[in-house]
Amino acid sequence: MRSLNRLTVAISSRALFDLDEGNQIYEKEGIEAYRQYQCDNERVVLSPGPAFNLVKKFLLINQKRGDQEPLVEVLLLSRNTPDTGLRIFHSIQHYGLNITRAVFSGGTSPYRYAKAFGAHLYLSLNPSDVRLAIQDGMAAAVLFHPNDNEYVSDELRFAFDGDAVLFSDIAERVFQGEGLEKFNQSETEQAHLPLPPGPFKSFLMVLHELQKQELAIPLRTALVTARSAPAHERVINTLRSWDIRVDEALFLGGLEKVEFLKVFGADIFFDDKPFECGKASPHITSGHVPFGILNQP
């Protein structure tokens, strides 16, 4: 049973650090050349990857707790072998990241260990691993490479799309199949019926529980959706039925989300649409959630 008293986040090594150079050597020259490259550069510190600044903020939550149990744990999951992964641990130590648990799966997919650790969130650059994690009932996303933003806010801010992220894609299916008018009619008629949960409902629940704790930095959440009135009511009733609140809700009626995400100051944004993540990623770390009708082959 996953604990609601601690947030457990699993991060792939390529999400935490920039391993692109080594990955190119692996793809062009093979595993032995890659192993030699990593061993030769074992003491060369890796550059930050797309999740690096986010991980630093996650770990800040544990500050000022003294001898109390940490409220957040970050796990490292890597396809490296223990031999080639030593450089990754040296880099973790260099940056002072309090990451003590790791899996080096030797070329096989490491996502399955995320569930064994009880992770609430899995972030990776590998779409196949993320899809498998979602199928296993875990909140998971493929990270887009952001720019080199340094987050200066003294809060940790999460932004979520609604349909196919926090909620299932049943309403999205109506919109895609029958258009906006039918979608609004359907959502109005079913406003009293809670939407089924999507892959990120459980993660939002843990954040909601964490917000009740005394944290070194505050957490803040926002729903950022293309919905507008009259389709807003079912969303609010659904969150009420889950006994979960979000701090802000933006019903944008189809407007582009990027400027609103910047105003909110999101540290990370989750959406089921790759093009939305692509637009946001130059400004905000973005995670594509490959779930729902828009992500079917």
- φ, ψ for residue 48, nearest 5 deg: -60, 145
Task: Decide if 161 is catalytic.
Answer: yes
Which one of the listed residues 20, 148, 161, 272 is annotated catalytic? Answer: 161
| Contact (Cβ atoms closer than 8 angstroms) between residue 249 and residue 236 | yes
Higher per-residue pLDDT: 109 or 197: 197
The identity of residue 227, as a single letter, is R
The domain ranges of the chain are 7-141, 156-295
| Of the listed ranges 20-34, 94-108, 199-213, 233-247, the one predicted with least confidence | 20-34
Question: Cα separation of 226 and 250, whole Å?
Answer: 8
Distance between CA atoms of residues 184 and 246, nearest Å: 23
Task: Give every CB contact of residue 242 below 8 A, 6+ residues apart in sequence.
Answer: 194, 197, 201, 205
173-224 pLDDT tens trace: 999 999 889 999 998 999 999 999 999 999 999 999 999 988 888 999 999 9
- Decide if 7-141 and 156-295 have a common fold: yes
Sequential DSSP letters for 11-79: EEHHHHB--HHHHHHHHHH-HHHHHHHHHHTTTSPPPB-TTHHHHHHHHHTTTT-TTSPPSEEEEEEES
pLDDT digit string (tens) for 63-97?
877 778 889 999 999 988 888 888 999 999 999 99
The residues, ordered by sequence, that sit 6+ positions from 4 with a Cβ below 8 Å of its Cβ are: 205, 206, 209
Q: Which CATH architecture has domain 156-295?
A: 3-Layer(aba) Sandwich (3.40)
Indicate the pLDDT class of residue 147, thresholds 50, 70 and 90.
Answer: low
What is d(CA 48, CA 14) in angstroms, rounded to the nearest whole number? 9
Global confidence as pTM: 0.92
* CATH number for the domain whose boundaries are 7-141: 3.40.50
